[in-house]
Structure 1
C-alpha cells in the first residue's frame, strides 16, 4: 500500500523557493543520510516549483539545464543510491504557481515522464486552475495517469483546502491532501492551521492523510516563507501538533545549518513514533477551552493511548492547569485500571494515575504523553 503511514521527507520550497539547483538537492540528500534524518524516517527528497524551462520542448517538460545540468534521471539515481526517494512538483492549473509549465491537459504524458525519471512522489498544486474546470476530475485524472505508469508514486494533492478535500480526495486517488492555505514562519500561522484542522482529522487513515503543510521548524525567519520566525519552544509545539494530528512530516528548513535544539525536535523519537504508529488511528479532540487550550487523544498500537495538551496562549501568559478525566478516554473508574504515563518528548516516566491527569503549561507550551493501561499493584 502506498502511504501506509504519513510520508516524511524534505522539500525545497519553504527555504529556497525558486533558488534551487542540482547541487543543493544532492547536498540535502547527503544531509538526510549523514545527520540521522533518514534513520529517523525522513525518506523523500522533494523538488518544488521552478525546476523546468519556462516552456515545453516538443510537448515535454524539460528541466532547466542551467540548474540541473545532469538531468532529472541522474539526480533521481543519486538520491536512490542514498536509500532515499525522489519527489517532484507539478500543478493542476494552466501554469504552476511560479508561472512554469504545468500538467493541465498533459497528465498522462507528464506522468510517464515522471516515471521514466524515477519519481516516487508528486506534489500536485492548484494555481491557475480554470474557472470552468472540475477540480475533483483534475486530481482524479492525474491519479489515474500516475497509476497507469506502473510505478508506485505517492500522489500529494495540494489544493489548499478548496472544496472540502477531506470529503473526496481519498476517493480521487490522492495519498495526502493539503487542507489549508500555505504556512509561514510565524507562530500565528501554524497555530491557525492547527485550530482550523483539529476537528477535521478523524478521517486520517492508511492510504490518505490530511497534510497540514510543510514544517517551519528551525527556519528562524529565514528563507522563502520566513517572516518573523518562532521560538524554539514554539517550533517544538508546532512539530508536536503535526505529529499528533498524523500529518505528513516534510521538513522545510535548511538542514545543513539548522541549530541543535531544532534538529533535536525534528529527530524526536517519541513524537515521530506517535506520528508513525502502526495503528495509524486519527487523533480526536477531547476539549477546547477558549480556542487556546486544547486536549486531544490518539489511540496507539498495543495497550496505549497518546494524550496531547497544547496551550497556544501568548508566551507571557502564566501557567494553566489542563486536566483530562480518564472517563473521556473510555477508561471508567469501575474498570479498576490505572494509566502509567510517560512524557513522549523527554522519555521521563511521570508515574501511575487513577481517574485523571493534569498538565501545567504556560502559553506556547505543550505536553504529549503516552499512557499505558495497567492494573494497580497489590
Structure 2
C-alpha cells in the first residue's frame, strides 16, 4: 500500500532571476512619435493597448512596496500549505505535482513527498510542526503519512476512518489534531499510532489549530461555532459564535490567545484562559450583513501580534494590545490574466523581521515592513 521514500527523490530546484542590462541605451520604438514641443507620445493605435496593460498591472496588486519578492512552488496552485513557526520551511499539497518540502531560506525544494513512489499524490491536507521536526500528509483515501522533516524519510503510515479536511501538528510531533467531514475532530497520538479522543461537533469541521505543546486545540465548524478544547481530557473549555460557517482557526504558541473566523462573518481574538473577547476584526459585520473572509492567520512568536490573510489577497498585522492594524499588504495575482485574487492559505513571521505568505496560486510572498 505504501512505498517508503528515501533521501532526496528529486534534485533541488533553485529559483533563477533574469538579469536586465540597465546600461544598454534604449531604442525608440517605431510606435512612438515626437511632437513639435519635443515630447514623446504613443501612436493612437497603441494607446488603448497601453492603457489596458497599465490597468491590468494595477489590478494585479504587484506595486505594493512592501512586497519584496515572490517565487513559485507549484505551477497549477495549491490545495494546502503549512509553514514552520520561523518561516524557514514549507510543506505543500499541490494541485498537480503532489507533496513536497521546501527550504525557504534558499527557495529550493528539498524533498518530494508522495505516497506511492514517484507518482504525484493528490494530497488533501498537510501539517508541519512549528519546530520543523515532523510533518504529516493525507491523501484522498485517506492514507496519512508521518515524515521526518530533517531527513525527508517516511516513518509510518495509517489508513484513517474519516475524510480529512484539515490538520494541525504540535512541536516534536507530540500530538496531531485532525478535522473531518464527518462532524468530528480526531486527537491522534503519532507515537503510539492511534486515536486518543473523538471530539463531536454538530456539522463538518473546516479548520483546526493546536498549541505548540499539544495541550490545547481549536476547531471551527459548519455549525457556526469555534470551540476550544483541552486535548488531554477531550473537554470543551469555551465556545464562541461566528455567525456563519467556521472558516479559519489559529492559536498562539503558548495557547494563551485564540483567533477564529466565519465565512464573510465574525472574526475575533479571545483570551483562552477566561474566554473573554479581546477584539473584533469585522466589527460592523452584524449590521452590514457580511465582513472580510479571513482564510489564514498566525500569532507572532512573542504573542504580541496577529497576522491575517484574506481570500482577496490582503495581509494585515494586528496589535494584540489594542486590536488596531499595524500594517497591510495587497498581494498580486500570479499573472494579470488570473481570473481571481489570490487566497492566502499559510502565514509566518520570519526571524529577520520579514513576513511570509503562501497563496493558493502556488506563490510564496516575502513581505517587508509596511505601514497603514
Structure 1 length-normalised TM: 0.29
Structure 2 length-normalised TM: 0.29
- Which is helix-richer, 1 or 2? 1
Name the larger-Rg structure. Answer: 2
- Which is strand-richer, 1 or 2? 2
